[in-house]
Amino acid sequence: MKDKLRIYVFGASGDLAKRKTFPALFELFSRGLLNDVELVGYARTEMSDEEFRDVLSEFLTCRYVPGESCQTYMDDFLALCTYEHGMYDADSLDKAFSKYEHVENNIFYMALPPVVYVSAVDAIHGAECFEYCQSSLKLVLEKPFGHSLASSEDLQDSLSSYFVEEQFYRIDHYLGKELVQNILVLRFANIFFEPLWNSEYIERVDIFWKETLSLHGRAGYFDKYGIIKDVIQNHLIQILALISIERIAELSTDNVSCAKLKLLDSVKKLTKNNAVVGQYIGNGQVPGYLEEPGVSEKSKTPTYARVNLEIENERWKGVPFTITAGKGLDETVTKVVVSFKRVKPIFKDMCECQSVPNKLVIQIQPEPHIYLGICNKVPGEGFKLSKKRLNFLYSEGYNEQIPDAYASLILDVIKGDKNMFVGIEELQASWRIFDDFLAESESNDGDMPVAYTFGANEKEVF
Ligand SMILES: NC(=O)c1ccc[n+]([C@@H]2O[C@H](COP(=O)([O-])OP(=O)(O)OC[C@H]3O[C@@H](n4cnc5c(N)ncnc54)[C@H](OP(=O)(O)O)[C@@H]3O)[C@@H](O)[C@H]2O)c1
């Protein structure tokens, strides 16, 4: 059927599918952006269509439609959803999907543990029922893309024997966040940042990812990965790349991807001397990391890391880029802080301003917010100066809802727009930065992370 879109969600019984994928699809549907579509869940668990719809309905929320019509939207959306069950081999897929009529556009969303990716992709490739759409189908993969450089290369070698790179969409959901996408606009659609965006005017760049939570039921996953692989090597290094890439001639997937690759290739490999890792201990109310169920007794997995990265190119010579990420801290925030160099004082009373440089802060979450710290004259006689903020809160500046990151990215997949997805070369370049450090710290000789108390202010601890 011409133009009809079918989205298959593999692993549809799982956490990601229920909490993120289907709610994001519902958001698109309720915004009128999902037309002529069928949504098919697939997993090993046996469920009827009705049972599947009941599960999904618990996770759908009405952000885009008024309360009274929401139920109608939900019912219409759920009517588009069906469910099949089976294993990840070609015969099982044929058994489940041969009855489905052929449609023009097919997307396979892998909401599956990465160990299943290769068999699932192999099965799609081998299934007779999908033979007709082999060259046009798209595959959406979720991080983690491997747990080291070698394993990500192995994964890629296997996947690329079935489909070509253009067909893969590697989701890093931070790239779907409004404020992360806005980094390119802020930098390249305003005249005043770019001339200052270099080592002559910028003193340092800090990227913070802090969370008050502990493991939140993810011990099994987190203990194998740790904070660097969970958020730094992917989400935060992508933000670093967007903050520091060279100006692109125009927005296109090739231009963005090439610029990010060039940048990531010029980041010096992380060494022990440039990193601090920590692990939280209990505070009397919340148990320490090692006491969490599912965490191995002598785990050296870091729940905190601060890494100082150096970009070896002309623009960023000598400018430290520091990424700090931690769980069990005193606040939940993700933000970029660009600190500018200090001006030569011409006023006598510059103390307050001189102690802190001008800063541009891009707060990604929880509250989208951009502000610029400036030095200002206190009203009155003479020249008394103080620090103030030029402030832009999204909640005050826009009436529009901020789209969910997954909804934005799934819409891009439907449109075939890959600007905000992770290309294979940049993925491997980002692994290269951390690989040696991770291998050393995970080895038997690796040091135990520094202990910090759950709920600590990281400035006081490290
Ligand atoms: N959850 C999140 O918020 C989140 C965030 C970012 C990235 N991710 C990534 O997204 C993917 C899915 O995450 P998730 O949290 O939804 O995972 P999950 O709940 O552990 O697994 C999803 C589903 O996959 C199926 N499954 C599990 N093990 C399997 C196996 N060995 N063989 C075949 N099927 C298996 C299960 O369904 P059946 O038993 O019914 O087959 C399960 O419901 C993972 O790659 C994860 O790293 C998740």
For ligand 1, the distance from its centroid to the CA atom of residue 214, given in whole angstroms, is 20
pLDDT average, residue stretch 243-258: 95
- For residue 286, pLDDT beyond 60: yes
| Ligand 1 binding residues, C-beta < 6 A | 11, 13-17, 20, 43-45, 88, 111-114, 116, 142-144
Closest to 99 in 3D by CA, of 114, 115, 82: 82
Cis geometry, peptide bond prior to residue 366 (ω within 30 degrees of 0): yes
**Which atom of ligand 1 sits closest to the CA of residue 88?**
33
Residue type, 419: N
Quick one: what percent of the chain has pLDDT higher than 70? 98
> In the prediction, which pLDDT does 362 show?
98
- Looking at the structure, do residues 439 and 365 belong to the same domain, yes or no? yes
Q: Which mutation among 18, 112, 115, 175 tests ligand 1's pocket best, with the greatest number of atoms within 8 A of CB?
A: 112
Q: Which residues belong to the active site?
A: 235
> 267-281, 320-334, 351-365 — which is least confidently predicted?
351-365
Domain count, the chain: 2
> In the prediction, which pLDDT does 176 show?
98
Residue 287 lies in a domain: yes
> In the prediction, which pLDDT does 440 show?
94
The set of residues, in sequence order, having a beta carbon less than 8 Å from that of 179 and lying 6+ positions away, is 362, 363, 364, 365, 368, 370, 394
Confidence band, pLDDT 50/70/90 cuts, at residue 120: very high
- Tens of pLDDT, residue by residue over 367-400, are 999 999 999 999 998 888 889 999 999 999 998 8
Q: Whose CA is nearest to atom 32 of ligand 1?
A: 116
Residue 167 lies in a domain: no
pLDDT average, residue stretch 194-217: 95
The pTM of this model reads 0.96
- For residue 462, pLDDT beyond 80: no
What is the rounded average pLDDT for all residues in the chain?
A: 95
pLDDT average, residue stretch 424-451: 94
Interatomic CA distance for residues 298 and 229, integer angstroms: 19
Residue 341 lies in a domain: yes
Q: Whose CA is nearest to atom 44 of ligand 1?
A: 113
pLDDT average, residue stretch 162-178: 97
Residue 316 lies in a domain: yes
- Looking at the structure, do residues 119 and 187 belong to the same domain, yes or no? no
Q: Which mutation among 9, 10, 15, 118 tests ligand 1's pocket best, with the greatest number of atoms within 8 A of CB?
A: 15
- Looking at the structure, do residues 116 and 64 belong to the same domain, yes or no? yes
Contact 15, 43 (CB under 8 A): no
Confidence band, pLDDT 50/70/90 cuts, at residue 237: very high
> In the prediction, which pLDDT does 2 show?
61
Contact 53, 47 (CB under 8 A): no
For ligand 1, the distance from its centroid to the CA atom of residue 119, given in whole angstroms, is 14
C-alpha distances (whole Å) from 188 to each of 243, 329, 380 are: 11, 34, 38
Q: Structural domain of residue 87, as residue ranges? A: 5-142
- Looking at the structure, do residues 321 and 243 belong to the same domain, yes or no? yes
For ligand 1, the distance from its centroid to the CA atom of residue 11, given in whole angstroms, is 6
Confidence band, pLDDT 50/70/90 cuts, at residue 62: confident
- Looking at the structure, do residues 182 and 296 belong to the same domain, yes or no? yes
Interatomic CA distance for residues 202 and 311, integer angstroms: 13
Residue 125's domain is classified under what CATH number?
3.40.50.720
Confidence band, pLDDT 50/70/90 cuts, at residue 439: very high
pLDDT average, residue stretch 270-282: 96
Quick one: what percent of the chain has pLDDT higher than 90? 88
- For residue 323, pLDDT beyond 60: yes
Residue 190 lies in a domain: yes
